[in-house]
Amino acid sequence: MKPNVAIMGATGAVGAELLELLDERNFPLNSLKLLASARSAGKKIEFKGETLTVEELTHDSFEGIDLVLASAGGSLSKEYAPSAVKAGAIVVDNTSFFRMTEGVPLVVPEVNPEAIKEHKGIIANPNCSTIIMALPLAPLHKAFGIKRCVVSTYQAASGAGAKAMEELKEETEAHLKGEAYENTVINQPYAFNLFPHNSPMLDNGYVEEEMKMVNETKKIFQDPDFKVTATCIRVPIMRAHSESINLEFEKPFTIEEAYELLKNAEGVEVYEDRENNLWATPLMASGKDPVYVGRIRRDLSCENGLELWVVGDQVRKGAALNAIQIAEKLEY
């Protein structure tokens, strides 16, 4: 059957991308309800030639709804997702709130689609950086066994939401004019700057974003002993995250085998122009579905090591597209 769909957080950056993808992929929906905070209620949004009115999110918003695509923030998912499930809907949640909750599947459809059927009303979308990393890791791990993964991320403003993207633009313009600018989303100068990720610092010296990558990867691959460490950096890029990934395998491998696996991996596109020293960039990946992989080479410092450069659109595959792909595999 065609589901009745609601988008929680319809006026945010991910909400806008969800709407675009529902249209672009011709998702078989019966009806669409747009939900947001009281301040956004009444806003008009065009979808497939129709003008939809954004409604205020309440606990009664889910009557008759089969699917909720939630991207309104963790506190709102915590409050309203149980009401949606109680009303009979399946929630695909884009926030971090349910990701590590026992019994809630954490899904990247190209990697662990079998986990979808285990849901009890809520399915969690992983962190954007985790999704982008998991796609190239999955076929390599299956073939050679990843002994250790070291990742450094270069994360765009899009990861902090639509307001952070707008502030980066405004601050850059102010900087070029020699004018002062006060950020409200990022806690330090962002234009022409970079810094360790601005998520909260934890007692172990990692920030939340880094531990999301560590813990979520273990859950997705169903391996609590999977060894991964992350350093996450915020860079003054509008959209699309980049990652430098170093892998050490249990088994020997050839570069040719690694290329073949990555070229055939669902959702992955190998992009390399060695002759001209050109590789995937955030500008190239923005608005695109694939996760791009390049700079594929042996790590000269260890026997079974591999280096990768990975770029993916945080708003698209890192959030909205992954959620839509999960929804496409559900039975209503």
Q: What pLDDT score does 162 carry?
A: 84
Res 1: pLDDT:
87
Residue ranges of the chain with per-residue pLDDT less than 50: none
50 shares its domain with 138:
no
The reported pLDDT for the residue numbered 161 is: 86
Please tell me whether residues 299 and 271 are part of one structural domain.
yes
- Residues 154, 79 within the same domain: no
Catalytic residues: 128, 241
Q: Tell me, what CATH number does 289's domain have? A: 3.30.360.10
Q: Of 312, 321, 219, which Cα lies nearest the Cα of 268?
A: 312
Query: What pLDDT shows up at residue 104?
Result: 98
Please tell me the pTM assigned to this model.
0.96
Count of domains for the chain: 2
Q: Supply the pLDDT for residue 332.
A: 86
Structure tokens at 192: 């022409």
Supply the range of the domain harboring residue 20.
4-126+319-328
pLDDT at 255: 97
Residue 290: per-residue pLDDT: 98
What DSSP designation does 106 have? B
Exposed e or buried b for every residue in 133-169, given b needs 16+ CB within 10 A? bbbbbbbbbeebebbebbbebbbbbbbbbbebbebbe
253 and 297 in a single domain? The answer is yes
| 292 plus 160 within the same structural domain | yes
pLDDT of residue 184: 93
Q: Please tell me whether residues 205 and 188 are part of one structural domain.
A: yes
Q: What would the DSSP string read from start to end of 48-79?
A: TTEEEEPEE--TTTTTT-SEEEE-S-HHHHHH
Q: Are 307 and 295 in contact (CB under 8 A)?
A: yes
274 and 134: one domain? yes
In this prediction, residue 24 carries a pLDDT of 97
Is the domain of 184 the same as that of 308?
A: yes
Whether residues 174 and 290 share a domain: the answer is yes
